[in-house]
C-alpha cells in the first residue's frame, strides 16, 4: 500500500513540475518577441506599451522599456508600480521630434484609473512625453507626464 502511495506521489510531483514548466515557458516574453511588432515606429511602440499595461501583460510592457531603464528598475519594481492600475488608455500619441536617428519624442495623453495605498480609486487624465531610444528597435527610455 505504501509503495502504491509513493508511486502516486512521485507521478503527481512529476506532473506538477511538468505543468509548471510548461506554464512558465508559455508566459515568458523575450525582447526579440516584443521587438518584432512595432520596432520601426516609435508611436507604435508607445501604443503597444500602454496596451500591454491595459491587458496586464507587464512583462511585455517591461521589455518595451530601454536597457538603461531596465538596468535601473527591476521587473518586480516595474510590476509593483503598475499592479495598482485598474484601467489605462492611451488617448493620443503624436511624434513631435527627434534630435537624431537614435532618439524620438512622442507627445502623449492618457486616462488612468489607479488604486492608491488605501484602496481608493483615483481617475485622471495625464499629458506629457515619452522619450524613446533606438536599441535594435525603438524602446521607451523615459516617460514624463503630469495630471491635467
**pLDDT tens, position by position, 27-39:** 444 444 444 445 6
Which value, to the nearest 10 degrees, does the dihedral of the CA atoms of residues 132, 129, 125, 82 take?
30
Q: Domain 30-147 maps to which CATH number in 2.40.50.100, 3.40.50.2300, 2.170.120.30, 3.10.450.100?
A: 3.10.450.100
Q: What pLDDT was estimated at residue 6?
A: 53
- Is the pLDDT confidence value at 125 over 90? yes
Which value, to the nearest 10 degrees, does the dihedral of the CA atoms of residues 115, 117, 122, 125 take?
-90
- Is the pLDDT confidence value at 7 over 70? no
Take residue 147 and report the three cell numbers written for it: 495630471
Amino acid at each position: 500500500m505504501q509503495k502504491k502511495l509513493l508511486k502516486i506521489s512521485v507521478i503527481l510531483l512529476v506532473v506538477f513540475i511538468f505543468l509548471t514548466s510548461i506554464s512558465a515557458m508559455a508566459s515568458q516574453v523575450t525582447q526579440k518577441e516584443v521587438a518584432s511588432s512595432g520596432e520601426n515606429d516609435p508611436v507604435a511602440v508607445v501604443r503597444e506599451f500602454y496596451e500591454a499595461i491595459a491587458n496586464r501583460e507587464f512583462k511585455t510592457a517591461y521589455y518595451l522599456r530601454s536597457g538603461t531603464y531596465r538596468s535601473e528598475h527591476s521587473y518586480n519594481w516595474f510590476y509593483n508600480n503598475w499592479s495598482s492600475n485598474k484601467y489605462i488608455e492611451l488617448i493620443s500619441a503624436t511624434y513631435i521630434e527627434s534630435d537624431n536617428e537614435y532618439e524620438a519624442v512622442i507627445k502623449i495623453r492618457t486616462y488612468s484609473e489607479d488604486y492608491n495605498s488605501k484602496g481608493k480609486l483615483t481617475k485622471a487624465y495625464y499629458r506629457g512625453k515619452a522619450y524613446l531610444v533606438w536599441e535594435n528597435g525603438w524602446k521607451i527610455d523615459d516617460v514624463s507626464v503630469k495630471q491635467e
